[in-house]
Homo-oligomer: A and B are copies of this chain.
């Protein structure tokens, strides 16, 4: 018999089916035994009755343990009182893989196990359908980004994660022993994205790990995260990138609403499909925050608290979960962001429910001006020869953006800690599993 997935059972009332999965719950009475079976598509009540169920199978259940893998042959029956509307009358069961007891963590919906312990046994934690749903949504976000960027003429690239090049500050790099020579883990594909925009592709994207050797202990920072980066050439200015991001998120949330019906229900999330995102200059944002009693100097960036506060103001004022903050002061942006006529940068952040999920900008592609800007920041382009080369042999105007996939997932699903959106997070204290 072919296996039936739990999600397909409701169409098979009256039929005999073969189910495979894990025992989520187990209750043994003398004449009746309840097993909640779980597979990757859902859970289902299955019932063994003394007499209806084969004798050997009925007895065998006594030795079953929670989280064991079993196969069940049974009959799909209506049951108006169960929360599924149906249940499975067990004919026979087969033990496939017996679980040790007790489990090292409680992975039930009522679990009080703290996140640290849950991460130690993440593969037991993800068996919980709520936790599992987070990662199914995350997977669909990846797929949606791939297809949207591809459909818009972006070429998928894979650039080196071990590299001697970088354009950000060198303080946060992990060092790798490369056959006795030092090499570093890439903390951004920035240089490579720009390289291949100039390399004739014009539009490139990459979804790949990014590494930051920051000793941060926040609910937002990790030492390894998944970056969604794209870069596009022949733009008028940075507003073209923002327009494109709006389309990308409208497309993304529409797709998620269609493809993750069950997961979003499980997670109690209803996507609000946005159209235009409000756009505030940094000055305007600071004025709004000032009204709420939070003040910043002109050359300051917002902190996490300010971003969260602003997210609330925007939601209330515009009904939007998203907001672009534009025209960041030069003092808080890297040397390669293009300046505007007032000396601010042609750059922006995107906040999603009060958390920064991306930073973008038009890049300075004019080599002479780029050299000046590097000098202003105390950097010498001579020490970034390979970066400088990009601009010397014909480089179109361009700009782009880097997202954190983990943060997009976190904010979309209203998760408190970014670690909830990462299977196996890495931070200064966590190196395994």
Contacts and interface: CB of A to CB of B under 8 A. Distances in A.
Interface of A: 3, 20, 22-23, 38-40, 67-69, 96-100, 103-104, 121-129, 132, 135-136, 138-140, 142-143, 146-147, 150, 153, 155-165, 174-179, 181, 183, 185, 192, 195-196, 198-203, 208-209, 211, 213, 215, 223-224, 226, 234, 365-366, 386, 389-397, 405, 422-424, 426, 428, 431-433
A365 B97 contact: yes
Contacts of A431: 162-164, 178, 181, 183
Contacts of A139: 150, 155-157
Q: Which 3 A-B pairs have the closest CB atoms?
A: A123-B199, A139-B156, A127-B200
A6 to B, nearest CB: 11
Contacts of A68: 394
Contacts of A138: 156
A142 B136 contact: no
A369 to B, nearest CB: 12
Given A126-B199, A158-B226, A159-B423, A432 B164 contact: yes
Contact of A200 (B132, B201, B365, B366): B132
A432 B165 contact: yes
A394 B22 contact: yes
A425 to B, nearest CB: 8
B395 A97 contact: yes
A423 B157 contact: yes
B40 A201 contact: yes
A199 B124 contact: yes
A153 B69 CA distance: 19
A433 B195 contact: yes
Contacts of A127: 199-200
Nearest to A65: B394
Contacts of A215: 179
Given A68-B394, A201-B132, A424 B159 contact: yes
B392 A100 contact: yes
A135 B389 contact: no
A186 to B, nearest CB: 9
Contacts of A157: 135, 139, 423
A394 B136 contact: no
B396 A96 contact: yes
B393 A103 contact: yes
Contacts of A391: 97
A200 B38 contact: yes
B199 A122 contact: yes
A136 B155 contact: yes
Nearest to A205: B139
A140 B149 CA distance: 11
A160 B211 CA distance: 10
Contact of A98 (B20, B104, B394, B423): B394
Contacts of A158: 209, 226, 405, 422-423
Contacts of A22: 200, 394
B185 A99 contact: no
A143 B156 contact: yes
B165 A428 contact: no
Contacts of A200: 22, 38, 40, 123, 126-129, 132
Contacts of A123: 195-196, 198-200, 389-390
Given A158-B209, A160-B424, A40 B203 contact: yes
A395 B213 contact: no
A394 B198 CA distance: 51
A227 to B, nearest CB: 10
B40 A121 contact: no
A389 B196 contact: no
Given A123-B196, A126-B201, 7 more contacts: A97-B394, A99-B392, A123-B390, A160-B224, A160-B426, A162-B431, A165-B432
